[in-house]
Amino acid sequence: MANVCKLVTNRILGCGQCTARLAVVSSGWNSSYSTAAQPASSPQKEYQFVVVGAGSGGMAMTNAIARKFGKGSVAVVEPHDIHFYQPMWTLVGGGIKKKEESARPMSSLLPKDADWFQTQVSKFDPDNNIVQTANGDALKYDFLVVGVGFELNIPQIKGLQEGLDGDPMVCCNYSYKYVDKTYKAFQNFKSGNAVFTQPASPIKCAGAPQKIMYLAHDYFRRNGKLQDANIIFNQGLPKIFGVAKYAAVLTDICKQRGITVNLNTNLVEVCHDKRQAVFQKVDKGTPEFVTYEMRYGKRKNPIVCGGGQRSSGVTGGQTLKTLLTRYLKYEMMHVTPKMSPPDVLKSSPLAGPAGFMTVNQHTGQHTKYPNVMGIGDCTDIPTSKTAAAVAAQTGILKKTIQAIMNNHDPAKVAHYDGYTSCPLITGYNSCVLAEFDFDLNPLETFPIDQGKERRTMFHLKKDFMPQLYWNLMVKGLWNGPGIVRKLAHLGFSK
């Protein structure tokens, strides 16, 4: 590490304060910017920096590094042609945006001064400071930044892949391939159970599974379908939301709108040919199947109740037959799949027992390899996995890298407080802007109560945040709203 520090002493990160169009950026890196990257044709194999992954975090760090250190200083390993602004997919699922608006060519966002290896990583070898690629390249680095994100594990829920491919009423906002099925399901919904699921395991943006549910409720209300809809949220976790303030708000919204919430209820199977789903209760030592009463009477379709669901349209004069079943019938179902870091990371020395990259939660520095940094969803940083969290972590990693290059302790100059944000859309013109820290305490930007549904916050999510993302965040120029928060609260905020 001493040799690394000597190598870059005269090229320290952080020369001056950058300016940007929104004038609220807290970046210490120069703001000149250029794009039009192309896959490396005859690349070198030794780099000062190697960045693995060009999602939100990897893209931001690649741009920040290339902007400061220039051509030949950084290689980025990223196999995909297209970069997606995934937070927009809730709006796509609700019919508010077109999915094409969430996609831009990777080459238009990566800096031209970076060498782009358009392939996958096959092996991390941090003991020798080498990243192996699927194309056979061995990339040696002084510093490594890992931002490989999450991958969707759709096959881990039995029948889900077949349901997404074969049933127009099974949908998922977490995939570009399937996201436009959701609004079509809204439109084709007639009556019955509209089921929305969230697994018990970590996912990207933990609020997204219920955002689309609130949009469904609002769509059904506006289009005369609500009286025939039974909206159900089967949440695998023990709380509707992790932060008490916002959980209380969302619980109240569900009660007011007649939405049934079943906690500790995990989807385990989709039977799309019969439009049925199987759930387990996971709050006990051994998971138990949820059972439902199927009552047959004069109605053409069975009336599903039990298991936390409601029965409607039953009169006292009807003769009903009842049986128990583990199958919940749905008219439409939005499924949030299980997710995890990619296998190549989980099987590497960088990962801990749970498969996440182990880093210092305050600095982003790996707990064993001091010249390796992690950012975003693939790390074990204990905060909600959102683009807002990645923005704040970008600023922290810049400070961490600068400290290491100066042979200083990163903990003395970099301290991530866990800031993350989840704009909880609750309808077609309302949103609760949840912001909080490691301790699940609200860390709100604006000097108002953000625990209320507001039209302004909806437009912040819909109109402002995409511009912030494309124009600042992916360029490494947005490190979160810390400065804005200080100004808005007259300096009396964290």
Enzyme catalytic residues: 205, 422
**How long a stretch of residues is the chain?**
494
Structural tokens at position 62: 């690649």
Residues with Cβ within 8 Å of 20's Cβ and at least 6 positions away in sequence, in order, are: 27, 31, 471, 472, 477, 478
Q: Is the CB of residue 372 less than 8 Å from the CB of residue 141?
A: no
Give kind and range of the element (H or E) at residue 210.
helix 208-222
Residue 482's nearest CA partner among 433, 450, 435, 441 is 435
| Contact partners, residue 96, CB within 8 Å, separation at least 6 | 428, 462
Rounded Cα distance, 69 and 12, in Å: 9
Which amino acid is present at 207? G
Helix 208-222 vs helix 244-257: crossing angle, to nearest 10: 30
**Cα–Cα distance measured from residue 27 to residue 64, given in angstroms and rounded to the nearest whole number:** 9
Tokens of 327: 């199958």
- What's the burial of 308, exposed, middle or buried (CB within 10 Å: 0-12/13-18/19+)? middle
Q: Which of 117, 126, 106, 124 is nearest to 45 (CA)?
A: 117
Question: Phi and psi (nearest 5°) for 103?
Answer: -120, 135
342: amino acid identity, one letter: P
**434 burial type by CB count under 10 A (0-12 exposed, 13-18 middle, 19+ buried):** buried
The 3-state DSSP composition of the chain as helix, strand, coil percent (nearest 5) reads 30, 25, 45
Q: Which of 445, 454, 448, 451 is nearest to 427 (CA)?
A: 454
Spell out the residues 6+ positions from residue 461 whose beta carbon is closer than 8 angstroms to its own: 91, 423, 425, 431, 433
Amino acid at 241: F
